[in-house]
Amino acid sequence: MKCPAEMVVYMHEYLDEEISAEHEKELRAHLQNCGECQTHFHELKKTIALVQSTSHIQAPENFTANVMAKLPKEKRKVGVQRWFRHHPLLTAASLFLVLMMGSVASSWDQDHQLSVSKQPNLVVQNDKVIVPEGEVVKGDVVVKNGDLEIQGEIEGNVTVINGQQYMASAGKVTGEIEEVDAIFEWLWYHIKTAAKDAVNVFETGETDKEK
């Protein structure tokens, strides 16, 4: 018996889920009577099942990383923006640091003139401050942007910023001598004095209470 040629077409229509009700009826009727077509249909379904059974393999490890490594470099701007977005705290901290450095640098730049604490018996010559021989200077002496030559006596601390101090053999300082050179030392000096002041405020506050 020669099967009608359209039966195979109907089978594929069925497998594509596009068969009309009429064709399906015809196909079913034919399959019941024809062993050959039954086998053919069965083999097609088996083939599909076999092909489908091979699915679900996975991409190798590091696949995504490998792809990402091969991509052309992105625009720098975006990278920077994303970095800022991902690190808000660091962004804030670095911004703060930049502003701080700016203000420190500008205040450092501003006072390049010689300045001296105001004691009446200090003598200023060009860039040099002299404590004359035999004189006694009372209180702390601060010299900024200049040298200090001590021939007489200072009753208090000595601080020389951006300069040097020379002590004559007859010179005498009762307090501490401190020299500040670089900007960082200057900064450190500021922090220390601020801390000292704070401590002093507390101490005087406490002694006031005690009184």
Binding site for other proteins (CB under 8 A): 8-9, 12, 15-16, 18, 40, 43-44, 46-48, 50-60, 63-64, 66-68, 70-72, 74-75, 77-78, 82
**Paired tokens of 118:** 């105001």
Cβ distance to other proteins smaller for residue 43 or 176: 43
Instruction: Work out how close the CB of 58 gets to other proteins at its nearest, in angstroms, rounded to a whole number.
Output: 5
CA–CA distance, 85 with 25 (Å, rounded to integer): 65
The nearest distance, CB 91 to other proteins, in angstroms, is 18
Q: Which residues of 142-179 are buried (b: 16+ CB within 10 A; e: fewer)?
A: bbbebbbbbbbbbeeebbbbbbebeeeeebebeeeeeb
Q: How far is the C-alpha of 137 from the C-alpha of 118, rounded, in Å?
A: 10
Residue placing its CB nearer to other proteins in the complex, 75 or 211: 75
Structure tokens at 74: 């992105």
**Least Å from the CB of residue 100 to other proteins:** 32
Return the DSSP state at 155: E
Q: How many CB atoms lie within 10 A of CB 130?
A: 18
Nearer to other proteins, 55 or 126 (CB): 55
Give one DSSP letter per residue of 125-149, joined into a string: ETTEEEE-TT-EEES-EEEESSEEE
- Of 72 and 88, nearer to other proteins (C-beta) is 72
> CB 66 → other proteins: shortest distance, Å?
6
Closest separation between CB of residue 33 and other proteins, Å? 21
Question: Token match 């500008």: residue?
Answer: 106
Q: Looking at beta carbons only, is 15 or 167 nearer to other proteins?
A: 15
Provide, rounded to whole angstroms, the least separation between the CB of residue 70 and other proteins: 6
Residue with smaller CB distance to other proteins, 15 or 123: 15
CA distances from 66 to 61, 69, 75, 78 (A): 9, 5, 20, 21
